[in-house]
Structure 1
Amino acid sequence: MLFYESERSDQHNYLYCQRDHNFNFPAHLHHSFEFLCVQSGTLACTLETEQYEVHPGEALLVLPDQIHSYRTIGESQSVLWVFSTDWVPEFISQLGQREFITPVFRMEAAPLMELLWPGGNRCKQLAGLYLICGAALEQCFLQPRPVPDVDAHLSSKIIDYVQKNYTHTLTLEQMARDLGYNYTYLSAYFNHSLHTGFQGFINQYRISHAAALLQGSSLPITQVAEQCGFGTIRSFNRVFLKEKGMTPSAFRKQNVL
């Protein structure tokens, strides 16, 4: 899983589904739609610079190229779908150059589960996706997308930079030099626009990749730590425990595919 997820940006007829317990994921973006249904608990979503809470029976629809992140408040159960824009051309046409004022609306995951499994019946998949789009249009007001300001693409620059360099030692000073920004300005931007400090952002990125490797590979934990940019296994264990609430070994046992 990448912060700029090209596999979710460039494929035609892309459809992805995952079910999660205590879902957390740091800021990322792609060219596809992302739809989240909460079944229990509460998920906080940061969408661009706004924050929303999604409760049981509610859903949230992220539009293409909107920077977004998720954080579980307490505990949560949720289902997430990602689908490329070519599935829903009529919806794209109705959106035009507009976005939702508030992207949270009422919708249950259960009726969609049978329709929207990747590899299933294409007619059912289309029906499910347009159910989502229709519910969003009925319940969410639209407004014109704002004109991008001079730093509209700074978040994507940061994400791209971290993606390319997270396996190495990273400092805010070096990032500021490489991106051509003032150190103080960039530090403030992290806190105001990404709602986390620099080191917290890097840690979330690294731990998300580590979790994917622990779940989807048989690599030794020491090698996972090294591949995700941690200098020592001790620091990896400490940060992983803080972000996931359990050790890497416990996470692997609980999430074996």
Structure 2
Amino acid sequence: MQPFYEDKQDEFRCTLTRDITFPAHLHSAVELIYLLEGSLEVTVQNQTKRIRKDEAALIFPDMVHSYLTTDACLGILCIFSPAYARDYYHLFRKQQPESPFLSSGTRNPDIPLAFGRMLRYRELSLSVSAAWLNLILSFLLSDTVLLPRDSTDSADVGYRLISYVSQHFQEPLTLDSLARELHFNKYYISRVFTARLRCGFYEYVNRLRLDYAARQLRTTDQRITAIWQDAGFESQKTFNRNFLACYHMTPSRYRKTQAPIGEVFPQS
């Protein structure tokens, strides 16, 4: 997955995700995650919940969110531009859910079916997959209380840090350079990352770079050397060490071991 800050104007991605753990991030797309197995702790803004099988979380654009798997989980992750949700485009811009956590799938048998169809058609027909997405949204949002959209507090330190790092992670970044750019003391920034984002500054930057590299490995034929350089790593040795620690396999093996859709949603 690649869930950090980007302006995804034309994007629609639907993938299986296993044991997802990702620190606080935000982006201009909508993010929808649906659990097939296990449990996942999801935090959106200041709300946290452990979602389980047939439960979902719907994250509106520019909302800070994070994932934490403590045991194991398997889910469907869909990241899409609001433009793909024809009937909900303005809703995503002007409103937000009272709670981003949705349990409709535990009560409506059509929702698990719709998620499976959306995943299956992602490679066969983007328009068909997007149509299933809109059906899913109609199911989920019918049970959702919506509120007027809060204006983002640009003065919030955590928000500013996430926004800046998410947009510049491919560049050389240090606590000193970040402190100069945002006019904060570097020790204060370090404490914010530890206290509010649950990880250190360099751990956060590395996680964004690894996530970017993993997506490139999955979706392109680009050479691994070009990928780690584009991701912002200073050397292949550093990249390989961090990738192995995060994904428990080498980059080349990771590229070869992606779970086929049929393992979860058989055709028969």
Compute the TM-score of the two structures, normalised by the length of structure 1: 0.79
Paired residue secondary structure (1:135): coil
Deviations 1:29-78 (A, max 9, x none): 23343221110122222322443322112111112221112233332210
Structure 1 position 215 matched with structure 2 position 215: no
Secondary structure at 1:53 match in 2: strand
Map of 2:237 onto structure 1:
234
**TM superposition shift of 1:120:** 0.8
Is 1:246 equivalent to 2:249 in the alignment?
yes
Partner of 1:112: 114
Report the counterpart of residue 65 of structure 1 in structure 2: 62
Match of 1:184 in 2: 187
Secondary structure of 2:142's partner? helix
Matches within 5 A, 1:168-207: 168-207=171-210
Q: Give me the whole-angstrom Cα distance separating, in 1, the residues matched to 2:39 and 2:160.
A: 30
Amino acid at match of 1:57: D
Q: 1:127 aligns with which of 127, 130, 135?
A: 135
Shifted more, 115-124 versus 162-171: the winner is 115-124
Amino acid at match of 2:134: L
Alignment partner of 1:151 out of 155, 172, 175 = 155
* C-alpha contact 2:19 2:69 (8 A) present in aligned 1: yes
Cα distance, 1:207 vs structure 2: 0.2
| Structure 1 unmatched ranges of 5 or more | none
- Residue 122 of structure 1, CA deviation: 6.9
**What is the rounded CA distance, in whole Å, between the counterparts of 2:130 and 2:174 in structure 1?**
47
SS at match of 1:57: coil
CA contact (8 A) 1:61 1:136 kept: no
Q: 1: CA distance between counterparts of 2:237 and 2:165?
A: 22
Query: Deviations for 1:83-127, whole angstroms, at most 9, x for unmatched residues?
Result: 41653349939x965542462434255221366453118765533
Contact 1:39 1:78 (C-alpha < 8 Å) held by counterparts? yes
The code of the aligned residue for 1:151 comes to: A
CA distance in 2, matches of 1:67, 1:54: 17
Alignment of 1:37-56 (within 5 A): 37-56=34-53
Equivalent AA in structure 2 for residue 129 of structure 1 = L
- The alpha-carbon distance between structure 1 residues 31 and 56, as it changes in their structure 2 partners (threshold 3 A), is same
For structure 2, the 5+ residue unaligned runs are 261-268
How far apart in 2 are the matches of 1:122 and 1:36?
15
Contact map agreement 2:38 2:74 (CA 8 A) in 1: yes
2:23 and 2:199 in contact (8 A); partners too? no
Tell me which of 5, 8, 22 is aligned to 2:19.
22
Count how many residue pairs are aligned between Structure 1 and Structure 2: 247
How many Å separate the matches in 2 of 1:210 and 1:240? 9
AA paired with 2:55? E
Distance 1:226 1:256 in 2: 26
Name the SS of the counterpart of 1:120 in structure 2: helix
Q: Which runs of 4+ in 1 moved over 4 A?
A: 95-98, 121-125, 142-150
Question: How far apart, CA to CA, are the structure 2 residues paired with 1:36 and 1:243?
Answer: 21
Query: Does the CA contact (< 8 Å) of 1:215 and 1:256 recur in 2?
Result: no
The answer on whether the counterparts of 1:29 and 1:68 sit within 8 Å (CA) in structure 2 is yes
C-alpha RMSD of the superposition: 3.2
What TM-score, normalized by structure 2, do the two folds share? 0.76
C-alpha spacing 1:161/1:202, structure 2 compared with 1 (3 Å): same
Which whole-Å CA distance do the structure 2 matches of 1:25 and 1:193 have between them? 14
